[in-house]
Chains A and B, each alone.
Chain A
Amino acid sequence: MRSTDKNVTQSITQVIAASSLGTLIEWYDFYIFGSLAVIIGQQLFPSDAGASALINTLAIFAAGFIVRPFGALVFGRLGDLIGRKYTFLLTLVLMGGSTFLIGLIPSYSSIGYAAPILVLILRLVQGLALGGEYGGAATYVAEHAPVGKRGFFTSWIQTTATLGLFLSLGVIVLTKNLLGAEAFADWGWRIPFLVSILLVGVSIYIRMKMHESPVFTKLKAEGKVSSNPLKESFQKKANFKMVLLALFGATMGQGVVWYTGQFYAQSFLENTCKLDFNESRYILLWAIVFATPFFVIFGSWSDKVGRKWIMLTGMLLGVLCYRPIYQYFLDATNVKEMQKTMLKSESEPVVERGLVKDKADSLITTTVSKTLTNGVTFKESKIEVIPEDVLAPVPDVEVVVKDVTLSGSSYMMVIFLVFFQVLLVTMVYGPIAAFLVELFPTQIRYTSMSLPYHIGNGVFGGLVPFIATLIASFQGSTPLSGLWYPIGIAALSFIIGAVYIDNRRDENVMD
Chain B
Amino acid sequence: MNALKKALGILWILAGPVIIIFLFMQASDKIALAAEGIARTNTTLQWAIIILIFIPICTGLVIFGYYAWKGEYDHLPTSSEELE
Binding site for B on A (CB under 8 A): 52, 55-56, 59, 62, 66, 236-242, 244-245, 247-248, 441-443, 455, 459, 463, 467, 470, 474-475, 495-496, 499-502, 504, 506, 508, 511
Contacts and interface: CB of A to CB of B under 8 A. Distances in A.
Per DSSP, are chain B's interface residues mostly helix, strand or loop, or mixed? helix
Interface of B: 1, 4-5, 8, 12, 30, 33, 38-39, 42, 45-46, 49-50, 53, 57, 60-61, 63-64, 67-68, 72-73, 76-84
Contacts of A495: 8
Contacts, number: 71
A244 B67 contact: yes
A112 to B, nearest CB: 14
A248 B78 CA distance: 19
Contacts of B1: 499
A113 B77 CA distance: 52
Contacts of A470: 46
B83 A239 contact: yes
A56 B42 contact: yes
B79 A237 contact: no
Given A55-B42, A239-B83, A500 B60 contact: no
B80 to A, nearest CB: 4
Most buried by B among A52, A56, A475, A506: A52
A431 B42 CA distance: 39
Which of B63, B76, B83, B84 has its CB near the most chain A CB atoms (within 10 A)?
B83
Interface of A is mostly: helix
B82 A238 contact: yes
Nearest to A510: B80
A23 to B, nearest CB: 25
Given A52-B42, A56-B42, A508 B64 contact: no
A236 B83 CA distance: 9
A238 B38 CA distance: 48
Given A237-B72, A499-B5, A506-B78, A245 B30 contact: no
Contacts of A245: 64, 73, 76
Contacts of A496: 8, 12
A504 B78 CA distance: 9
Nearest to A474: B30
A244 B64 contact: yes
